[in-house]
Structure 1
């Protein structure tokens, strides 16, 4: 804390804005220690509390607006970019979509306090067409609450934090090394696990052309659309005859999947990660003739193969709800 505080005293507002902005756009820079340090400095009379709060909120909103606009204008490309830098790309979009389904627009407030969802939520808000005013209202409220949640404790416990910082100066090197090794080990584990899962399914994938040939030759194929509710609302088309079933539903209803037919799973996430994960799950259940669709629904659409329209509303009811 003492090093962060000294850095803030020297560079002040630039550091606070830059670190908060960087975290919100997805860079691995922790903003919480900086917010705590800013609050402690304000408590010691070395920084203006109100301006620090305002600056953090503006930085937070600035980063979120970048992803919101990318979500509006680039759609799935923005989400794919975010998931490619995530540790768990197989679940990042699905978790956030489910969060939106449960909480509606209020998810923009709550997501600020959940690692992994904070950066993704603004992009999904743009993708699903949440209006600018509503986005700024709810996301701004979330940014303010998130900022206050960490600046105010620093302000209130300024003297205690200073004492802790003094103690950490003596044992800080050991703790930082231990935490660094632990974090590095976690990242390596997640990366290796991700690559192993994708490698296991890569050789078993089916291409859009191969699936189309099977369907044209009237082969018995069982196609499952794994996209979530909000994802389908944003893109209300699917492969003809596909059964719509979310990944969560498939985990509960896997017994409905035929064991003696070719089963094809597809989603809209990077590297067909959700489809790959569900294919592994079905194989563990004894359903062996299962393959993910390479490239998902986007690959099918790029080949200009036929699509089947599904019912669509102007905006998902749960997202409209206040």
Structure 2
């Protein structure tokens, strides 16, 4: 946060890089996108900085990250994974059917679920989701994700309690965003 206070544009660029890497590389799902977006919003609110320029940068990073991840999934990398049968043909067939039926909703909702956020565009590319359809849902999902989390942080950043407990709130956001994965893992074990 000190970096953001000294030069907010440099700090936003650094956060945008993390967002791009988390969404753009299927191997980096552990990066803290949700909490970073909320923290940036809180910082902007605390500092009284108009959020629209930061949002534009963050939305672009989220959009291009997913686009790169989709392209990797639909490239030789995805083809190699399919040819070597690292993913069973039956699972790939199910994924294709799933993305044909629910692809748009998955791309939008995946933004709000850690790990899934990094995997969904890659699988959509591997499964052969229509690129134009992917692009439209990618921009909608990226905008919703960034705007909702940044503006939640921005609005809550006005409160003294939030200013004093920003680290705690970022941890809670991570915990809440991991909750659906925990529920799914619990159900699968049962």
Q: TM-score, normalised by structure 2?
A: 0.67
What is the SS of the residue equivalent to 1:130?
Answer: coil
Partner in structure 2 of residue 124 of structure 1: 123
What is the SS of the residue equivalent to 2:16?
Answer: helix
Partner in structure 2 of residue 68 of structure 1: 70
Alpha-carbon distance in 2 for matches of 1:15, 1:48: 18
Could you tell me whether the CA contact under 8 Å between 2:100 and 2:129 is conserved in 1? no
Instruction: Say whether residues 1:58 and 2:60 are aligned partners.
Output: yes
What is the SS of the residue equivalent to 1:153?
Answer: helix
- Select the structure that is richer in strand: 1
| 1:47 equivalent among 46, 49, 52 | 49
Counterparts of 1:78-117 in structure 2, within 5 Å, are: 97=95, 100=99, 103-117=102-116
In structure 2, runs of 5+ residues without a counterpart are 175-190
Could you tell me whether the CA contact under 8 Å between 2:99 and 2:127 is conserved in 1? no
In structure 1, runs of 5+ residues without a counterpart are 180-322
Could you tell me whether the CA contact under 8 Å between 2:16 and 2:57 is conserved in 1? yes
Partner in structure 1 of residue 34 of structure 2: 32
Counterparts of 1:235-254 in structure 2, within 5 Å, are: none
| Pairwise CA distance, 1:99 | 5.4
- Select the structure that is richer in helix: 2
Could you tell me whether the CA contact under 8 Å between 2:16 and 2:58 is conserved in 1? yes
Alpha-carbon distance in 2 for matches of 1:9, 1:77: 45
| Pairwise CA distance, 1:130 | 2.8
Counterparts of 1:5-20 in structure 2, within 5 Å, are: 5-10=1-6, 11-20=10-19
Alpha-carbon distance in 2 for matches of 1:8, 1:78: 40
Q: TM-score, normalised by structure 1?
A: 0.42
Larger radius of gyration: 1
Partner in structure 2 of residue 143 of structure 1: 142
Could you tell me whether the CA contact under 8 Å between 1:71 and 1:78 is conserved in 2? no
| Pairwise CA distance, 1:102 | 5.4
CA pair 39-99 structure 1, distance change in 2 beyond 3 A: farther
Alpha-carbon distance in 1 for matches of 2:114, 2:126: 20
Could you tell me whether the CA contact under 8 Å between 1:56 and 1:147 is conserved in 2? yes
Structure number with higher relative contact order (C-alpha < 8 Å, ≥ 6 residues apart): 2
Could you tell me whether the CA contact under 8 Å between 1:71 and 1:79 is conserved in 2? no
| Pairwise CA distance, 1:117 | 1.8
CA pair 13-33 structure 1, distance change in 2 beyond 3 A: same
Counterparts of 1:160-179 in structure 2, within 5 Å, are: 160=159, 162-167=160-165
| Pairwise CA distance, 1:70 | 1.2
- Root-mean-square deviation over aligned CA pairs: 3.4
What is the SS of the residue equivalent to 2:116?
Answer: coil
